[in-house]
Amino acid sequence: MKKTLFVALLLLTALAGQAKEKTVVWEQPCTEVNTKIEGFFSPLLEIRRVEFAKDETRVFMHIASRPENWVRISSQSYLRADGKKYALKSLDGMGTDKETYLTDHGYVDAVFHFEPMPMNTQRFDFTEGDENGAWQLLGVEQPSTRAGKLFPSNWRNTETGDWDISFYDECAIYDCQFWNYKEKEQTGDKYTIVLENGGKEITVSVDKNKGGKRNITIDGKTGQYDLISSITLPDYPQKDTRTDFKDTHYQTDTVTFVGWLKDMPEGMKKEGNEYSISVYDDIFMEHYNSKKSYAKMDSLGRFVMKIPMLNSTDVYYDWDRTYIRTLFEPGETYLMLYDFKGGHKLFMGKNCRLQNETLANPIQWGFRYAREENMEKDQALAFMQGLKDDKADALHELEKVVAARPNISDRYINYLKGHYDADMFCNLMQGRYHMKNRQVPAEVMDYANQYWQQLPQPYTLYRELNTFWIDYIFQLVSDRFYIRLGHGYTHADSKLYPIILRKYREAGKVKITDEELDIVERYGDGFAKYSGYMDGDEEAKKAHEKFFASDLPKQFNAIYEREDIGQALTEEYPLFDTYRALSVLDSIGCDQDMRDIIVVNKLSLILEQIREPLTEHVMQFVEENVKMPAAKAFLKAQNEKYLAIQRRDISKSQSIKSAEDVANMSDGEQMLRKLIEPYKGKIILLDIWGTWCGPCKAALKNSQEEYKSLKDYDLVYLYLANNSPDDTWKNIIKEYEVLGDNVVHYNLPKAQQSAIEHFIGVTAFPTYKLIDREGNVLDVNADPRDLFALKKLLDKLK
């Protein structure tokens, strides 16, 4: 009986052993070479599991790309191990030999079924297709095996989950710094290494590999470490329940950003040796661009960058090379490894968990934009519902991440939820530009107000937040103060007059009676009520005509034309846009920080438009009403810049020409011939622009770069300004250094400028034309914003 039981147990043990031999599993295998780690403009490929069975080898691969981009997997894909190829039999999750758009969420987890490799395979390569340029993941092996080779390798602390140290042939990485090897000693599978950085030395002792783990002692402190085999840092072992983001209360601090673009492809090296970071905390400018910081990379692709930051904010990393979108918090130090060959994207730092989690589980893209023009109310509401659906889809993906990764931090969850709100409401209010007559339904504004009442702080946190509140406030201002008049609009500024005149009366600056103030107030209300009418609305037009034919406008004009009243309103005029915004804020509510941001925002926009310093009266208003030191300092710096520009004298510059050159002339062709007469025999680049034109000014910023790039062509640059105030015209020329021995500027009277533009055929601004050596205006595209194309054109003219 005992013998029978023993035999049975042996049989069961043998069967169990055979069962175990049926499938060998590698979890999160290492890949020695994987250049497909990006996933934004090109696909990301990551092998997350391999199963070796008797009948097939299964490769579980995560494939990511933008939803609007397609991915195609060849049916000729194969594995190679020990010199032998193993063909693809089938693919689950997507088709082969066809374009597949990952429209749902930008990724797919596909299972490749290959011919069976031996179960004792130690290493293999994956090749997608059999053509030149095929995608390849080379040197795939188990972490427990790969950990036996220390160089190169990245290690995370088993207890904390942080990436603490790396060993590469070129250098080691530790404590957000690159360390040189002073000494290396290997005994079997153990290492003793002395690292040096800036005169400081530390000793690192590495114990032997135990199934992908090693005990490592760094500068006297011992911990257990796991080999990092995945592209991004694996899930953290503990939950982080913090929910807040660092808030400096808008006191500028610095982020130290250290990076290594390891084994950068040759094509990317052509982008230059500067790495750039775009920071989106410039909340005091309405039409702001990202603030860029740059750092020179050394021959290995390493750099150190100091980035001044107003507060925690979105950052975009060198969009031509690394495509990372995450958050920076002031006062922190981050080190980023972007290993183009080994396939790792990792963050090191004392507080970089959120950055690693956004790398591993990226922010969803793809909230819809308004596409239709002149949307009616039902279309606008449908657009709003579509955005709600987009947000629901993104939150559903977030729920899947949280379910699969229960230790994902609460800061990550809050950051993404906040992003999706900001994205949705930004696109919602941008939709106003596509709605008929810019009329936004009350339902849309009510929904936007719900977001306004709980805006995330700090206000720098999300790039899209700035765009939202600018559009939202402007729409409220438009609804309250803008009046449709025929085909255009007018301001109901007269509604501001009673407020201003009461303030001036209390200050003893004007004398005005209660009866006169009543007239001003009734006129303002009547103007707002009866000024506007749509073309074809005869009843509204008659009411408009009746109001302006009544005695009230005459009584108002008698008051308005008084010298003291006119002086008061003129003094206040630069603040009108600010007053309109403040009137709206009083009705919807906001804290002092947002109030200060909007006041400075409005005034900085005036500076951008007029390119002249603000008046003492306006700066005194800022001093009395703006509490935030950073907001005050920003506006003061901007104002002082234009004070300095104003003081600069260019009256003697040969570039500034007098309109007297074409006095008494009216024919556009004759005037142009007169202007270019001194430069016959040279090629002339004609630039027709205006101080009111944003793209024109943006192009002028690069004037000196343009002159330097085109110096070999001996050009004359002729600038004609359209409808531009003389002081603003000169200030822009000074600000952007649009000056030189071969640079000529005219600011002609409106009628003369129009005549020249009519002769040339100007339909847009800026307009660029080339005039050849004989004085012929050439019908070619001579846009200096594309210097490469312009050079090719000029070469032909040579």
pLDDT score for 187: 97
Q: pLDDT tens-digit profile of 353-407?
A: 999 999 999 998 779 999 999 999 999 999 999 999 999 999 999 999 999 999 9
pLDDT score for 6: 44
Parallel, antiparallel or unpaired: strands 44-53 and 57-64: antiparallel
Residue 348's H or E segment, with its range, is strand 344-348
Q: What is the pLDDT of the chain when averaged over all its residues?
A: 93
**What is the CB neighbour count within 10 angstroms for residue 328?**
22
The DSSP output letter for 375 is B
Q: pLDDT tens-digit profile of 171-211?
A: 999 999 999 999 999 999 999 999 999 999 999 999 999 99
Q: pLDDT tens-digit profile of 63-82?
A: 999 888 889 999 999 999 99
The packing angle between helices 497-506 and 563-572, to 10°, is 110
Name which residue leads in pLDDT, 486 or 761. Answer: 761
pLDDT score for 538: 87
pLDDT score for 2: 46
29 in Cβ contact with 229 (< 8 Å): yes
Residue 135's DSSP bridge partners are 128
Q: C-alpha distances in angstroms, 28 versus 158, 212, 274, 462? A: 16, 12, 34, 33
Q: Which of 694, 666, 673 is nearest to 753 (CA)?
A: 666
Q: If you average pLDDT over residues 614-619, what whole number do you get?
A: 96
**What is the CB neighbour count within 10 angstroms for residue 85?**
13
354 in Cβ contact with 411 (< 8 Å): yes
| pTM given for the model | 0.88
Length reported for the chain: 798
The structure tokens listed for 766 are 């800026």
Name which residue leads in pLDDT, 680 or 17. Answer: 680
